Chains A and B, each alone.
Chain A
Amino acid sequence: MEFAPKVYFFIPERVPFIGGAGVTETVTTTWAIMALLVIFSMLAARNFKEVPGPVQNILEILVEGIESLTSTTMGEDKLGFAPYMGTLALYLLFANLAGLFAFRPPTADLNTTMALAVITFISIHYYGIKAKGLGAYLKGFTEPIPLLLPLNIIGELAIPISLSFRLFGNILGGVIIMYLLYNVVPIAVPVVPHIYFDLFAGILQTFIFVMLSMVFISLAME
């Protein structure tokens, strides 16, 4: 499987639960993105002033953008989701664009996308139960007709599957296509497909994943 991520080292067997698992370039690239985001946040947030300098200005635009997107999509009262959605958006943005920097995108690994989709799935049902109460929430599955119960359940399961596979397929498709293109013509020509597959598709898929998560979570809470 030539497109599988490279394994860098294996966790020693004696570690409980995860012993023997391989640490792939997906995990190490994710560590790099985490380090980038955390260090940047810590450095940039150190000296906030009343009258912002250039870096603070950009950060304020970013945060206000995320907050306004969250409140328009989910509702004014759900602004508490903005930090998670912002983090998700930043991680996905860097992860999808990693292909531009010769890293294998972590989102080209079904594990990453499935993990994020499962977080959304758990959030949907956790916040749904929290907002509506267990009884009303379970009753919602029998709407509009109790006969549709199995279809409703499968429909709910389809959400994390479609979220994860959509992102995975888009990014992995881009990785494979760029790899094949580089084998055929390694200079100049790949620029345009890079712009399309990495930049355009990467940003758009980030958007889609975050917006769909926001919409599903807020719909579950209504």
Chain B
Amino acid sequence: MDSTGDFIVRLIEWLNSFDKKALVLAASAVGAGFAMIAGIGPGIGQGFAAGEAAEAVGEKPEEGKQITFTMLLGAAISETSGILALIVALILLFGNPLVGVNGAKMVLAASAIGAGIAMVAGIGPALGQGYAAGKAAEAVGVNPEARKNVTFALLLGGAVAETSTILALVVSLILIFANPLGADEGLWIILAASAIGAGFAMIAGIGPGIGQGVAAGKAVEAIGKRPGHQGMITRVMFLGQAVAQTTGIYALIIALLLMFANPLLGLLK
């Protein structure tokens, strides 16, 4: 135990010995890397959509164009989380504002890493939206006349499923552009840990993302079978998606608390 404690202390002292700018930039590299993990989501989601679309085209070749269009639309929606993660990574690498901010260097470094970790949440929505896209492509193949209703429901359900990535993006952008922790008076280790904790909290967004996407996919399938009931189906989908969002909101609240109303600093006294 002693040697681990010594190691950690020596590690932190070694990190603290670096020049502020170098440390923040190094941490930004790590953060950018973490952010790109979000690429898992669109990969799986779009692959599923492509598979379902291929199967649907095999069943009904004459609807090939419509099926492909629906699949591509859904794939574009699924791509959003990956693009937002890419943008955060690019900001950390090329337009990093944290180097100029006043504050403890370990806190700013931890903020860069936390901002990157938060974007991992993009996995969920992309997965869910890909599932919905696949179901939509299938539904268009099964019932081509319902194409407009199916597309409409896909857009609505997909947009709600995107919420978790957007919440993670908000936390990420706050840590990068409007960092509240640099100005706080308090032990830097608590603030640095809070930044990383806020990032980890947003990973919870994976769950609601997948769940809401599945809800959208099943709703789209149902609308394909019975376009006349679109209103009722959409309502139930929205209700379910709202319930699914709750744990993501818990995570957002914890992240916001850690950043803006940190209770741990008060406990220090």
Contact = CB atoms under 8 A, between A and B. Distances in A.
A166 B242 CA distance: 12
Nearest to B177: A3
A29 to B, nearest CB: 21
A23 interface: no
A79 interface: no
Interface string B129-165: 0000000000000000000000000011001101100
A1 interface: yes
A171 to B, nearest CB: 10
A219 interface: yes
A119 to B, nearest CB: 17
Given A3-B178, A219-B239, A211 B163 contact: no
Contact of A72 (B87, B231, B238): B231
A161 B252 contact: yes
A169 B170 contact: yes
A212 B252 contact: no
B160 A158 contact: no
Contacts, number: 84
Nearest to A168: B170
- A interface SS class: helix
Contact of A208 (B160, B173, B231): B160
Contact of A204 (B155, B169, B239): B155
Nearest to A219: B239
Interface stretch (B26-34, B62-70, B243-251): B243-251
Contacts of B170: 165, 168-169, 172-173
Interface residues of B, number: 33
A166 B231 contact: no
Contact of A155 (B159, B162, B235, B243): B243
Interface string A164-179: 0110111011001100
Contact residues on A (Cβ < 8 Å of other chain), bracket = 20 to 34
Given A72-B231, A173-B166, A158 B246 contact: yes
Contact of A154 (B87, B95, B235, B246): B246
Contacts of A73: 231, 234-235
B223 to A, nearest CB: 13
B246 A173 contact: no
Interface in A102-128: none
B91 interface: yes
A205 interface: yes
Contacts of A215: 234-235, 238-239
Interface string A188-222: 00000000000000001101100110011011000
A159 interface: yes
Nearest to A208: B159
B167 interface: yes
A35 interface: no
B84 interface: yes
Contacts of B95: 180, 183
Contact of A169 (B155, B167, B231, B246): B167
A13 interface: no
Nearest to A212: B238
B80 to A, nearest CB: 9
B177 A2 contact: yes
A168 B160 CA distance: 14
Contacts of A166: 160, 163, 166-167
A1 B231 CA distance: 43
A27 B95 CA distance: 30
A87 interface: no
Contacts of B177: 1-3, 176
Contacts of B250: 154
A216 B240 CA distance: 11
B258 to A, nearest CB: 16
Interface in A36-85: 72-73
Nearest to B208: A162
A173 B159 contact: no
24 contacts: A4-B178, A73-B234, A73-B235, A151-B246, A155-B242, A155-B243, A158-B242, A158-B246, A161-B253, A162-B242, A162-B245, A162-B248, A165-B163, A166-B166, A169-B167, A172-B170, A172-B173, A205-B159, A207-B156, A211-B156, A212-B238, A215-B238, A216-B238, A219-B235
Q: Which 8 A-B pairs rank lowest in CB-CB distance, beginning with the nearest?
A: A169-B166, A158-B249, A169-B170, A72-B231, A1-B178, A215-B238, A158-B246, A166-B163
